[in-house]
Amino acid sequence: MAGWIYWLDLAGVIVFALSGVIIACRSRMDPFGMLVLAAMTGIGGGTLRDLLLGIRPVFWVTDPTYLWVIIITVVSSIVGFHYIHRLSRIVLPVLDAFGLAIFTIIGAHKALALGHGGTVAVLMGLLTGVAGGMLRDVLARRVPMVLRQEIYATASIAGAWTYVILYSQPIHPYATIALPILVILGLRLSAIYWRLSLPVFAWITSPAEASSKSTKSKSAESQSTMHNATPSSNEIEKKPRSKARVRMLSPKRRRR
């Protein structure tokens, strides 16, 4: 099973590196910027995972194959970017979902193999799956997708918990890997196809109703006109103040 996990890990690096290349081109970066974003997306999450778990050296230092895979992916993308860019709107989100599923399971598996508990394993799976994309978006001056309404981190958490539950069960090892991957893919691809998203909370400012001091303001205004004097601050009608409160916005309302 270790061999399958290794090859799946390399496949996830390729997919995430491609997403980094696409974002770099949309941000008008040079080839070095493309390489940096591809590396951050491909190995950034795993690097943070190994550092938090106390693994020294990190995985790509022990096995430089990951770095060569990223370099080859970037060079191939530069040569055939025209074709990759045409597929990015349809194929890339699907491939990104596969990468998220693979990285999440690998991160959870690594934490469990080191003897950590289920909660730590879920967090490590989530970190491995989403941290690279967050670093990529921050460097590209974009709001990270995981912090927006996308069903992204939710799918990763659900798949990681599924893997943690199945890890200690007497079932086939391949089923232990396949079922959590299907959970993540099912949630993520459903969100992409039906445009599902989580609600968000925002400050909504609404104008307050006019105060009930019209009679007093009218009398004050008439007195000031009669005496040809400047009205005092108490006699001036106060403008209605706007009220701000937190409301939950539905996805349909946010797209307007």
pTM above 0.85, yes or no: no
User: Could you tell me the residue ranges of all domains in the chain?
Assistant: 2-194, 200-254
For the residues 58-68, what does the mean pLDDT come to? 96
Lowest mean pLDDT among 73-77, 106-110, 210-214, 215-219: 210-214
Residue 238, pLDDT > 60, answer no
Residue 134: both structure tokens together: 């967050």
pLDDT at 256: 40
Residue 150, pLDDT > 70, answer yes
- pLDDT tens for 176-213 read 999 999 999 999 999 989 988 888 776 677 665 444 44
pLDDT at 152: 93
Instruction: Let me know: does 46 contact 125? Beta carbons within 8 Å.
Output: no
For the residues 44-49, what does the mean pLDDT come to? 96
What mean pLDDT is reported for the chain? 83
For the residues 14-34, what does the mean pLDDT come to? 91
